[in-house]
Amino acid sequence: MHVGLQPPSVAQTLGIVATVSAVQFVLTRVAHLTDTRYITIVTAILLLALLTITYRDRTLIGWIKHRRACTRRTPRLAQLLSHDNTAILWDHTNGHAAVLIGVTPKPFSINILDQNGYWSSRKLDLDPVRHELRQFDIRLHDLTAVTVGYTYAQQNDLAKVAFNTTGPINAIAYGRTYLRVTLDTATSANSIRAREIDGFKDPRETLASGMARTLQIASSRAHRAITREGFIAKKLSKAEGTQLHQDLVALLGADALAEEGFTHAGNGGPYLVGFTPTAKATDKTHSEWLRATTEVCASITRMTPATASTDSIEQYYCNRVQRLDTVELAEAADLRREYGQHTAIATTALPLAVIPPVTAVPKTIVSATDPAGAHIVPGGVGIYLGYTLDGAQRVWLDTTVASDEPLWIIGPRRAVELLLIRSASLGLRIDVRTPQLAAIAHELRHAGIGTHTQPDMTIVAVGDDDHAPAPVRVVWSEHPIGQRPRYVIDATAPGILHVHTGVDDPTDTHEVKVRWEFNAAEKALLAKAHARR
């Protein structure tokens, strides 16, 4: 229930008495009124209501103060340090130190959507990470998991073609995921002191050595828990943390981040709107909201020790939209708008930002040893390939995770054109070395968005010059090769893609056959691209 009562404190009670007495004095001594009972009673009731009636756990007077203060919030960046090629974020105001851990699925992961709307995508359970960080002598301040992504990079004709192909889906196609592990140096002082390296002349360097080693141990524990669950975890360096921050600022919109408002952030679009799940929200709430929105969405899960034996869990969502009417259905999707806290929630998603206070939001309290049920799906589902042979499931392939080995496409040129056209709405920068495909890629605007200064993917044919590969490489061969590569799409059978992506983990889907074809909109787009070559 949103509305409640909060008993006034002793100071507030004395303040009410003093205010009523002052009003009584002014009315009788200054205004010379004879009957002031009703005015005095109304004044007392009004003051009592402002101080005791709560909405979303905040008093009415608190909402007034919050409304006046929200526009004065300015995101602040932590001091960025480096130790052993790992970025360390230092917030000297609060005494917090943090490290960033990037999380991705395995390269070329297959994601299957069944008829009931459930994905085969592997989920990262945050409980093992939380339990690793809650043990021994290091004191965790918070563990924050962030995923920022979108279904379509831009709401344009390419997005319309992609929507006509797949319809609405309850997942993001492209996303970036990271974990922020934050320690409170005050409560972890003994741990830091025990790990200090003696021999420095400057005591500040001695303290810094202990803090850096403590953070390295905490981040290694989190890293270990993540990799055990079948994901790739990487402690971000100073340069990588800075680049990730710039990428997410570009996605969320720097102008909107600087213009906090009460109902939304931003002045004239794009806008940022922050939400939290209501008490009625379920595990499906987030996926259903992703089905309803195709623009940039930040999903944040924050876990904070509440006491020595309990943890507090909060969830935030923040959407960047061009039109505010696109988020009007949020209340119907069991989400509530967080008035005056849109920039605060968006700032929580930024790696290098000092996390501002987000107040009066719903939270769940769980025992430190009990499962919290908090799961995230790192990254996005990737590009759509088609239906399984029985027509019961649809298949996506994530082509955004860096890999030492390339993805091979064996078969006709149209199979490579399928990858180009299906990835056109993701906003990737693709470097195509094959001349007969480069012109098509250019027409499909594979130049990247935001801060994509380097290619995200390189596509070459067998025999092409490949001296500057991107993190993701695709090699095309029209004819079968001598041995089957680890990652391969075999399109030699007409209308069928045989996708094979390694066998490291038997619990993952690593092989599937897909029926594929171009729909009318895609054929028209390809014909237009071919005509302009």
The dihedrals phi and psi of 192, each to the nearest 5 degrees, come to -65, -45
Tell me which residue of 492, 501, 498 sits closest to 514, measured CA to CA. Answer: 498
Residue pLDDT, tens place only, 426-469: 988 888 888 878 878 877 876 555 546 788 899 999 877 666 66
- Contact criterion met (CB below 8 Å) for 183 and 214: yes
Categorize the per-residue pLDDT at 348 as very low, low, confident or very high, splitting at 50, 70 and 90.
Answer: very high
Q: Does the structure show a pLDDT above 90 at 178?
A: yes
Q: Read off the amino acid at residue 311.
A: D
CB 385 within 8 A of CB 441: no
**Coil vs helix vs strand at 341:** coil
The whole-angstrom separation of Cα 190 and Cα 196 is 10
Residue 307 DSSP code: S
The answer to whether residue 495 scores a pLDDT higher than 80 is yes
8 A C-beta contact, residue 265 and residue 257 = yes
- CA dist list (Å): 151 to 126, 167, 240, 291, 358: 24, 11, 24, 9, 27
Three-class SS string for 117-176? CCECCCCEEHHHHHHHHHCCCCCEEEEEEEEEEECCCCCCHHHHHHHHHHCCCCCCCEEE
**Site of tokens 């006709």:** 412
Helix (H) or strand (E) holding 178: strand 174-184
What mean pLDDT do residues 23-35 have?
Answer: 74
Query: Is the separation of the CB atoms in 319 and 295 below 8 Å?
Result: yes
Mean pLDDT within 5-29: 78
Tens-digit pLDDT profile for residues 289-347: 888 888 999 999 999 999 989 999 999 999 999 999 888 878 778 899 998 889 999 99
pTM listed for this prediction:
0.88
- Mean pLDDT value across the chain: 87
Question: Which one is predicted more confidently, 16 or 256?
Answer: 256
Dist. CA 94–CA 217, nearest whole Å: 21
Peptide bond into 105 cis (omega under 30): no
Per-residue confidence at 24, pLDDT binned at 50, 70, 90? confident
CA–CA distance, 527 with 419 (Å, rounded to integer): 16
Q: Whole-angstrom Cα distance, residue 59 to residue 51?
A: 6
Helix, strand or coil, per DSSP, at residue 506: coil
Per-residue model confidence (pLDDT) at position 519: 92
Structure tokens at 302: 């924050």
Task: Specify whether the CB–CB gap between 128 and 157 falls below 8 A.
Answer: no
**pLDDT tier at 198, thresholds 50, 70, 90:** confident
Strand 487-490 to 407-410 pairing: parallel
The tokens for 125 are: 């359970």
pLDDT digits (tens, 9 = 90+) for 381-427: 999 999 999 999 999 999 999 999 999 999 999 999 999 999 999 98
Q: CA-based Rg of the chain, rounded to a whole angstrom? A: 27
How far, CA to CA in Å, does 158 sit from each of 98, 161, 168, 283, 296?
Answer: 39, 5, 15, 31, 16
Q: How confident is the model at residue 1 (pLDDT cuts 50, 70, 90)?
A: very low
pLDDT score, position 533: 65
Give, as one character, the DSSP assignment of residue 429.
B
Could you tell me the residue ranges of all domains in the chain? 3-55, 79-376, 383-531
Query: What's the mean pLDDT in 474-493?
Result: 92
pLDDT of residue 94 exceeding 80, the answer is yes
The two tokens of residue 105 are 């699925």
Cα(3)–Cα(1) distance, integer angstroms = 6
**CA–CA gap between residue 95 and residue 264 (Å, rounded):** 31
Comparing 212-226, 341-355, 446-460, the range with the smallest average pLDDT is 446-460
Query: Which of 377, 451, 349, 347 has its CA nearest to residue 174?
Result: 377
DSSP-assigned letter for residue 270: S
State which H helix or E strand residue 365 sits in: strand 364-367
